[in-house]
Structure 1
Amino acid sequence: MLTETAAQVNYQMASTCHLRYWHCWSRFACRWWCDMRAGLLRTRITVMQPISGKDVNGAVTQDWAEFGRLWADVRNKSGLETIKADKVTGIVRVSIRVRYNTKLNNAMRVIVNNVIYNIKAVMHDVNSREYTDLICEAVT
């Protein structure tokens, strides 16, 4: 009969972690430490930022430049139909979770599967600094 030491048991438990890091000595520690797993971020998004320029007549124009491409978890939160200017318009709101990024702001926009969303709010996870949530509305 083989007896295993505590160090051998901890090593075997650590090897079952998806990241195989030393801190994952148990499945509970792995859930706590590795909460922002890459498997949840399965949608590729493009973040656009506004840039100002001048045209040939000297008038100020606003255009969009690519800020970056990120992996994200996109969740449709709500849809709403309203009447504006005697037309029925739909408002689609989504929540987009990306890795922690303090450079994102609500002047930017996001493109997900060829649909453009304006960022309405940016909420950073200031306690653990693992993720940033973007509350967005579809551009109509």
Structure 2
Amino acid sequence: MRAGLLNRRVVLLTREVQRDAANELIGEWGQVAVTRASIRNTSGMSAIKAGAELAIVKASVRLRFRRDVTAGMRVQHGSDYYVVEAVLPDEMRREHVDLVCRLLSPKEV
């Protein structure tokens, strides 16, 4: 895989559950890795949810081959956050991993 195609710096985030001083469970997003990626918006549509119009943006994020990425993780690029819906590894050549993602709205972040 050519390095020039991976022209975005992204942060991979995973949900970490910890306990606070009152022994309550709190969930926070912890950093797994900082890596280079290619981001392509594949589709966009709008839907009506709870009486409000909502834009849904799907994206494909490609990064170098790694095994520690799972569905449910998040990808941060600047101020944009994507939720990973599916992980599609290149098992044949083991060069890259494609992530099927959805752009999160500011309310979901």
Map 1:1-140 → 2, pairs under 5 A: 36-140=1-105
The one-letter code matched in structure 1 to 2:7 is R
How far is 1:113 from its partner? 2.3
> As a proportion of its length, which structure holds more helix?
1
TM-score of the two chains, using structure 1 as the length reference? 0.73
The structural deviation recorded for 1:56 is 2.3
Q: Residue 35 of structure 2: SS of its match in structure 1?
A: strand
Unaligned runs of 5+ in 2: none
Q: Percent identity?
A: 32
Decide which structure has greater strand share: 2
* Greater RCO, 1 or 2 (C-alpha within 8 Å, sep 6+): 2
Counterpart position of 1:18: none
Give the length in aligned residue pairs. Answer: 105
Distance 2:44 2:24 in 1: 37
The letter for the 1-side match of 2:21 is V
Taking structure 2 as the reference length, the TM-score comes to 0.92
Higher-Rg structure is 1
What RMSD over aligned residues (CA atoms) do the two structures have, in Å?
0.8
